[in-house]
Amino acid sequence: MGDIISMECTECRERNYSTTKNKKIHRDRLELKKYCRRCRRHTTHREIK
Ligand SMILES: [Zn+2]
């Protein structure tokens, strides 16, 4: 089981995705390339609380 976190586009700050993360395994802030509908392209999405 992990905690639910939100993923935010680092360019427009839109919260596009939510996912789960096990903080005992992934201590660093998660960053993923995902498609942003507002930017209409793939951007870096960052974990927010
Ligand atoms: Zn965006």
The residue segments making up the domain with residue 32 are: 3-48
- What's the rounded Cα separation, in Å, for the pair 27 and 13? 22
More confident position, 5 or 26: 5
Q: What band does 16 get if pLDDT is binned at 50, 70 and 90? A: very high
Question: Ligand 1 center to residue 28 CA distance, Å?
Answer: 22
Question: Mean pLDDT, to the nearest integer, of 17-41?
Answer: 91
Determine the pLDDT at residue 37.
96
Looking up residue 15, the CATH number of its domain turns out to be 2.20.28.120
Question: Ligand 1 center to residue 4 CA distance, Å?
Answer: 20
Question: Mean pLDDT, to the nearest integer, of 17-45?
Answer: 92
In angstroms, the Cα distances linking 26 to 1, 21, 36, 39 are 13, 7, 23, 27
Q: Does the predicted TM-score (pTM) go above 0.85?
A: no
Question: Ligand 1 center to residue 41 CA distance, Å?
Answer: 8
Please state the domain count of the chain. Answer: 1
Question: Ligand 1 center to residue 30 CA distance, Å?
Answer: 16
Is it the case that residue 23 has pLDDT exceeding 90? Answer: no
Determine the pLDDT at residue 36.
97
Question: Ligand 1 center to residue 13 CA distance, Å?
Answer: 6
